[in-house]
Amino acid sequence: MAELKPILLVEDNPKDLELTLAALDRSQLANEVVTARDGAEALDWLLYRGPHSGRPPVDPAVVLLDLKLPKVDGLQVLEKIKGDADLRHIPVVMLTASKEERDLVRSYELGVNAFVVKPVDFKEFFKAIQEVGMFWAILNEPHPPRPRNQPMRITEA
Protein backbone atom coordinates (compact mmCIF):
# COMPACT_ATOMS: atom_id res chain seq x y z
CA MET A 1 0.00 0.00 0.00
CA ALA A 2 1.31 3.45 -0.91
CA GLU A 3 2.23 5.80 1.90
CA LEU A 4 -0.26 8.52 2.67
CA LYS A 5 1.11 11.85 1.58
CA PRO A 6 0.26 14.99 3.48
CA ILE A 7 -1.92 17.78 2.14
CA LEU A 8 -0.25 21.19 2.24
CA LEU A 9 -2.84 23.89 3.00
CA VAL A 10 -1.58 27.43 2.47
CA GLU A 11 -4.09 29.89 3.94
CA ASP A 12 -3.66 33.13 5.86
CA ASN A 13 -7.31 33.81 6.77
CA PRO A 14 -7.95 32.18 10.18
CA LYS A 15 -11.66 31.61 9.49
CA ASP A 16 -11.05 30.02 6.07
CA LEU A 17 -8.25 27.93 7.57
CA GLU A 18 -10.53 26.66 10.33
CA LEU A 19 -13.37 25.87 7.90
CA THR A 20 -11.05 24.12 5.46
CA LEU A 21 -9.51 21.98 8.19
CA ALA A 22 -12.98 21.07 9.49
CA ALA A 23 -14.17 20.11 6.00
CA LEU A 24 -11.10 17.97 5.36
CA ASP A 25 -11.55 16.35 8.78
CA ARG A 26 -15.19 15.58 8.05
CA SER A 27 -14.11 13.90 4.81
CA GLN A 28 -12.35 11.38 7.07
CA LEU A 29 -9.16 11.60 5.06
CA ALA A 30 -6.30 9.90 6.85
CA ASN A 31 -3.80 12.29 5.27
CA GLU A 32 -2.00 14.66 7.59
CA VAL A 33 -2.79 18.30 6.80
CA VAL A 34 0.23 20.57 7.04
CA THR A 35 -0.60 24.28 7.23
CA ALA A 36 1.35 27.33 6.17
CA ARG A 37 0.11 30.85 6.90
CA ASP A 38 1.96 32.59 4.07
CA GLY A 39 3.75 31.83 0.82
CA ALA A 40 7.23 32.06 2.32
CA GLU A 41 6.38 29.41 4.92
CA ALA A 42 4.91 27.17 2.21
CA LEU A 43 8.08 27.42 0.13
CA ASP A 44 10.23 26.73 3.18
CA TRP A 45 8.21 23.55 3.81
CA LEU A 46 8.36 22.43 0.17
CA LEU A 47 12.06 23.18 -0.17
CA TYR A 48 13.12 21.74 3.22
CA ARG A 49 14.37 25.12 4.44
CA GLY A 50 14.62 26.68 7.88
CA PRO A 51 12.51 24.91 10.51
CA HIS A 52 11.47 22.32 7.89
CA SER A 53 15.00 21.28 6.92
CA GLY A 54 14.72 18.02 8.86
CA ARG A 55 11.22 17.02 7.84
CA PRO A 56 10.63 13.60 6.23
CA PRO A 57 11.40 13.56 2.49
CA VAL A 58 7.86 13.28 1.17
CA ASP A 59 6.05 15.61 -1.19
CA PRO A 60 2.43 16.52 -0.54
CA ALA A 61 -0.44 14.75 -2.29
CA VAL A 62 -1.70 18.22 -3.21
CA VAL A 63 -1.08 21.85 -2.35
CA LEU A 64 -4.26 23.80 -1.57
CA LEU A 65 -3.04 27.32 -2.22
CA ASP A 66 -4.71 30.63 -1.46
CA LEU A 67 -4.05 33.36 -4.00
CA LYS A 68 -3.77 36.42 -1.77
CA LEU A 69 -1.04 35.67 0.78
CA PRO A 70 1.38 37.79 2.79
CA LYS A 71 5.14 37.76 2.13
CA VAL A 72 4.98 35.66 -1.07
CA ASP A 73 1.64 35.55 -2.89
CA GLY A 74 0.00 32.42 -4.26
CA LEU A 75 1.00 33.10 -7.88
CA GLN A 76 4.65 33.42 -6.86
CA VAL A 77 4.44 30.14 -4.91
CA LEU A 78 2.78 28.45 -7.89
CA GLU A 79 5.45 29.79 -10.24
CA LYS A 80 8.21 28.44 -7.98
CA ILE A 81 6.56 25.02 -7.67
CA LYS A 82 5.93 24.59 -11.39
CA GLY A 83 9.36 25.98 -12.29
CA ASP A 84 11.26 23.56 -10.06
CA ALA A 85 12.16 20.15 -11.49
CA ASP A 86 11.76 18.50 -8.07
CA LEU A 87 8.35 20.06 -7.36
CA ARG A 88 6.53 20.52 -10.68
CA HIS A 89 4.80 17.13 -10.48
CA ILE A 90 2.98 18.15 -7.27
CA PRO A 91 -0.68 18.99 -7.97
CA VAL A 92 -1.61 22.53 -7.00
CA VAL A 93 -5.19 23.66 -6.49
CA MET A 94 -5.67 27.40 -6.27
CA LEU A 95 -8.32 27.82 -3.59
CA THR A 96 -9.33 31.45 -3.57
CA ALA A 97 -12.06 34.02 -3.13
CA SER A 98 -10.84 35.80 -6.28
CA LYS A 99 -13.16 35.75 -9.26
CA GLU A 100 -10.85 37.98 -11.29
CA GLU A 101 -10.28 36.58 -14.76
CA ARG A 102 -6.63 37.70 -14.76
CA ASP A 103 -5.98 35.55 -11.65
CA LEU A 104 -7.60 32.54 -13.31
CA VAL A 105 -5.71 33.04 -16.58
CA ARG A 106 -2.36 33.65 -14.86
CA SER A 107 -2.82 30.59 -12.64
CA TYR A 108 -3.36 28.33 -15.65
CA GLU A 109 -0.46 29.96 -17.52
CA LEU A 110 1.77 29.03 -14.58
CA GLY A 111 0.53 25.41 -14.58
CA VAL A 112 -2.10 25.21 -11.83
CA ASN A 113 -3.96 21.89 -11.82
CA ALA A 114 -7.29 23.36 -10.72
CA PHE A 115 -8.74 26.74 -9.79
CA VAL A 116 -11.55 26.67 -7.23
CA VAL A 117 -13.38 29.81 -6.16
CA LYS A 118 -14.34 29.52 -2.50
CA PRO A 119 -18.13 29.53 -2.25
CA VAL A 120 -19.56 32.17 0.07
CA ASP A 121 -22.27 29.85 1.42
CA PHE A 122 -21.00 27.80 4.37
CA LYS A 123 -22.49 24.47 3.21
CA GLU A 124 -21.25 24.95 -0.35
CA PHE A 125 -17.77 25.87 0.94
CA PHE A 126 -17.69 22.75 3.09
CA LYS A 127 -18.82 20.53 0.22
CA ALA A 128 -16.31 22.05 -2.23
CA ILE A 129 -13.40 21.48 0.17
CA GLN A 130 -14.47 17.90 0.86
CA GLU A 131 -14.68 17.14 -2.86
CA VAL A 132 -11.30 18.72 -3.60
CA GLY A 133 -9.70 16.82 -0.73
CA MET A 134 -11.23 13.50 -1.71
CA PHE A 135 -10.24 13.83 -5.36
CA TRP A 136 -6.63 14.85 -4.88
CA ALA A 137 -5.86 12.75 -1.79
CA ILE A 138 -7.74 9.57 -2.72
CA LEU A 139 -8.94 9.38 -6.34
CA ASN A 140 -6.08 11.03 -8.20
CA GLU A 141 -3.25 8.72 -9.19
CA PRO A 142 -0.13 10.67 -8.16
CA HIS A 143 3.14 11.00 -9.98
CA PRO A 144 5.44 8.13 -8.93
CA PRO A 145 8.00 9.09 -6.30
CA ARG A 146 11.57 9.65 -7.40
CA PRO A 147 14.72 10.73 -5.64
CA ARG A 148 15.11 14.49 -5.54
CA ASN A 149 17.35 16.02 -8.20
CA GLN A 150 17.26 12.83 -10.25
CA PRO A 151 16.12 13.13 -13.87
CA MET A 152 13.10 11.11 -14.85
CA ARG A 153 13.96 8.42 -17.36
CA ILE A 154 11.42 7.46 -19.97
CA THR A 155 12.00 4.25 -21.86
CA GLU A 156 10.37 3.40 -25.11
CA ALA A 157 8.93 -0.03 -25.77
Whether 49 is covered by a domain: the verdict is: yes
Whether 153 is covered by a domain: the verdict is: no
Report how many domains make up the chain. Answer: 1
Whether 148 is covered by a domain: the verdict is: no
Contact yes or no for 79/110 (Cβ under 8 A):
yes
Whether 86 is covered by a domain: the verdict is: yes
Residue 76 sits in a domain of what CATH number?
3.40.50.2300
Could you give the maximum distance between any two Cα atoms of the chain, in Å? 52
pLDDT band at 146 (very low <50, low <70, confident <90, very high): low
Q: What is the pLDDT of residues 58-75, one digit of tens each?
A: 999 999 999 999 999 999
Main-chain phi, psi angles of 10, to 5 degrees: -115, 105
Q: What is the pLDDT of residues 9-46, one digit of tens each?
A: 999 999 999 988 988 888 888 889 999 999 999 999 99
Sheet with 114-117, side-by-side order of all strands: 33-36, 7-10, 62-65, 92-96, 114-117
3-state secondary structure 4-72: CCCEEEECCCHHHHHHHHHHHHHCCCCCCEEEECCHHHHHHHHCCCHHHCCCCCCCCCEEEECCCCCCC
Domain that holds residue 128: 7-139
Whether 1 is covered by a domain: the verdict is: no
Alpha carbon dihedral 17, 21, 23, 27, in 10-degree steps, equals 160
pTM: 0.84
